[in-house]
Chain A
């Protein structure tokens, strides 16, 4: 037997965490702030519990991902579940709101051209 170092990771694979899903909805941006709406209850998936605890204060998705040591996609799927159950709410950063007020891309390109032509 090759005596490899003992495992220090976790035995559960990511597809068991997501229940076999690999497609996340796009409702969550990397910087979307997540806030938990309720306390975790008994019998919940441990990742859900941890997300709910972590997001008592608004926390960005990417932070949740880092804290849980899970890939972004997996966290998105989990958050999607919680969101669907109404246990978390997502606050999109204000910058996202201002996207609509930004100048048109064409205008910016014109400005760029003008600057280059200087």
Chain B
């Protein structure tokens, strides 16, 4: 209320500036007028006029005096109010300057200092204290709050840094775990180490978040590895009993077949066939389970027996036509594997061709080894299935996990092929179906082909074994010269008296292929038998003089036999070259030795 009242007061104050002079003048003028009125009045009215004029003047004087007193009072009030106003204005401007200083200078400085880590108390102490208590309080509150938030920010920052470090460390550990430790652990486990060994051996992450899942993973994996290994071992063990039983049954059946004829014989043959198929299935499973083949042969097996031994194990053996004129033998250690491999491939071919069509098996001898082609006339395999089959038989994937229900046979083929270095290839057959080409490398072939010499007479390309005796007698009857006969001179330990038929082409090779001490040197790609043959090439004739006791096997017995024969050969050296009648005998040799 005082503020709006102010202008009125000011105006009245300005008006009252002239009043002290005005009032006495009014009194004088009115007194003069009253005197004049009294003087001018008629005599009779003079007392009345004088009285009235006096009374009127007294009234006016009283009014003027009162008014003057009021005016003075108002003037005094005005003066004091103006002073107050000035003081307030001063205060206001001072206050404004302080606020200005506070906002523009002090607060930023405070914030800066606090940010630089100076304590709140210190900052407050170093500041000019504002006069206004509110400002003082505000400054105080501001300082403490900012100090608090600065502290919180620093904490948060350090927390963040720590987190980042932890994260980087964790990432690094995770990387190491993923790329180094886990693969190493898995391969160790696959090799049969226990979980504790693996956990102790390798460098595991320290971070429990990583360590505990890794540990549990390893333990779980070790458990499943152990379980699968145990299952495999148990199956292999159980299967080995079945295998032994099957082999025993086959031997028994063979005995019975010798004893019985007629209808019983036919039944025995059927049983024999079933048992052989059973043997194939058992062998297949045993091989997949890491077991061994049911049989081991201690002598080379001629190709014909190999083919028959394979074909006899499949159900549709009557549909398989064998075209074999090779006299080569498969080394005993590989014979069972080769038979199993061929049986699986023939089984496959027979199963995937119409039941009236035949499966043809051809054997060729090539310098790269024995080539066996199995052709069916069934449906052509699709590219995808051929690729799958190729993959299975390549032997690169030996994991049981890759087994497919019906492809056990091909997986076994792959394993056997990888084991013996046999190459198995699928190709479309010219007969309309699928052909499988099996290449048996030379080291599996017990009887090597003679090296092709230009001056050596070759009775037939498919009868390489007939070649060694260039004498007319045996050249006239090339076919029956068996593989077994050839393998014998190979093992003659002593070079006997050279005879005229030693091929000249072999002589330099023989010299080149021996150490100064007389030991044979095996050139790469040649088998030991071939190397030895080169050394003892001079002695075929004497050994041929005793053809009936040939031992084709690579066993100690045959070596003793060879020694024995060699000892006897001295008397027979100049004796009979193989007579035609005797050519038949070596054929019985393997059986006779068996």
Chain A residues with CB under 8 Å of chain B are 1-2, 4, 6-20, 22-23, 39-43, 45-46, 49-50, 53-54, 56, 67, 69, 71-74
Contact = CB atoms under 8 A, between A and B. Distances in A.
B591 interface: yes
Contact of A49 (B297, B298, B480): B480
A94 to B, nearest CB: 25
Nearest to A49: B480
Contacts of B480: 40, 49, 53
Given A11-B335, A42-B325, A73-B265, A16 B311 contact: yes
Nearest to A22: B266
B318 to A, nearest CB: 5
A100 to B, nearest CB: 26
A4 B265 contact: no
B297 A11 contact: yes
A42 B336 CA distance: 26
Contacts of B272: 13-15
B63 interface: no
A43 to B, nearest CB: 4
A7 B308 contact: no
11 contacts: A1-B291, A7-B295, A14-B254, A15-B317, A16-B308, A16-B311, A18-B269, A40-B480, A42-B463, A50-B588, A67-B588
B591 A10 contact: yes
Contact of B317 (A14, A20, A39, A40): A20
A13 B276 contact: yes
B213 interface: no
B215 interface: no
Nearest to A9: B594
Contacts of A45: 304
Contacts of A16: 308-309, 311-312, 317
A110 B446 CA distance: 68
Given A7-B297, A11-B339, A53 B584 contact: yes
A15 B309 contact: no
B247 interface: yes
B304 A46 contact: yes
A67 B592 CA distance: 10
**Interface class of chain A by DSSP:** loop
Contact of A8 (B241, B250, B339, B594): B594
Q: Which among A4, A16, A18, A41 has the highest number of chain B CB atoms within 10 Å?
A: A16
B244 interface: yes
B240 interface: yes
Identify which of A12, A39, A54, A56 gathers the most chain B CB atoms within 10 Å of its CB: A12
A67 B295 CA distance: 26
A16 B299 CA distance: 20
B390 interface: no
B410 interface: no
Nearest to B593: A8
Contacts of A14: 254, 257, 269, 272
B462 A9 contact: no
Nearest to B304: A46
Contacts of B324: 43
Contact of B240 (A1, A8, A9): A1
A14 B257 CA distance: 9
A43 B325 contact: yes
Contacts of B41: none
A71 B305 contact: no
Contacts of B251: 9
A99 B367 CA distance: 60
Contacts of A23: 266
A42 B460 contact: yes
A7 B265 contact: no
Given A2-B241, A50-B584, A11 B273 contact: no
Contacts of B469: none
A95 to B, nearest CB: 22
B306 interface: yes
A3 to B, nearest CB: 9
B298 A8 contact: yes
A11 B480 CA distance: 21
Given A6-B296, A16-B312, A49-B587, A71 B240 contact: no
Contact of A2 (B244, B323, B336, B591): B244
Interface in B501-531: none
A2 B304 CA distance: 29
Given A10-B309, A11-B309, A54-B584, 16 more contacts: A2-B244, A4-B247, A6-B297, A7-B247, A11-B295, A11-B297, A13-B309, A14-B272, A15-B270, A19-B318, A20-B317, A42-B463, A42-B479, A46-B587, A50-B588, A53-B480
B233 to A, nearest CB: 11
B325 A15 contact: no
B301 interface: yes
B240 A2 contact: yes
Interface string B236-280: 100011001001001100100110011001100110110010000
Contact of B477 (A22, A39, A67): A39
B591 A69 contact: yes
Contact of A11 (B258, B305, B477): B305
B10 interface: no
B302 interface: yes
B594 A10 contact: yes
B254 A9 contact: yes
Nearest to B272: A13
B278 to A, nearest CB: 13
Interface in B450-464: 460, 462-463
B302 A46 contact: yes
